[in-house]
Amino acid sequence: MPPERSRRPPPLALVESPPSAGQDLGRSQFGSGAEATAKESDWSNLMARAQAGDSGAYRRLLEQVAPYVRSLAVRMSRDPSDVEEAVQDVLLTIHAIRDTYDPRRPFGPWLVAIAHRRIVDWLRRRGRTRSRETAMEPRHETFPARPTNIDEASSDRRALRAAVESLPPAQRQAIKLLKLQQMSLKEAAAVSGTSIASLKVATHRALKGLRRILAGRSEDA
Binding site for another protein (CB under 8 A): 1-5, 17-20, 50-56, 58-59, 62-63, 66, 81, 84-85, 87-88, 91-93, 95-103, 105-106, 109-110, 113-114, 117-118, 121, 125
C-beta closer to another protein: residue 114 or 167: 114
Q: Which is nearer to another protein, 2 or 147 (CB)?
A: 2
CA 107 to the chain's CA centroid: 36
Task: Name every residue whose Cβ is closer than 8 Å to that of residue 200 and which is 6 or more positions away in sequence.
Answer: 185
Which residue lies nearer to another protein by CB, 125 or 186?
125
The CB-of-162 to another protein minimum distance in angstroms stands at 56
- Shortest spacing between CB 64 and another protein, in angstroms: 10
C-alpha span between 88 and 66 (Å, rounded): 8
Q: Smallest distance from the beta carbon of 38 to another protein, in angstroms?
A: 20
Going by C-beta distance under 8 Å and a sequence separation of 6 or more, which residues neighbour residue 189?
195, 196, 199
CB 77 within 8 A of CB 83: yes
Least Å distance between CB 27 and another protein?
A: 19
Q: Residue 77 contacts by C-beta under 8 Å, 6 or more apart in sequence?
A: 83, 86, 123, 126
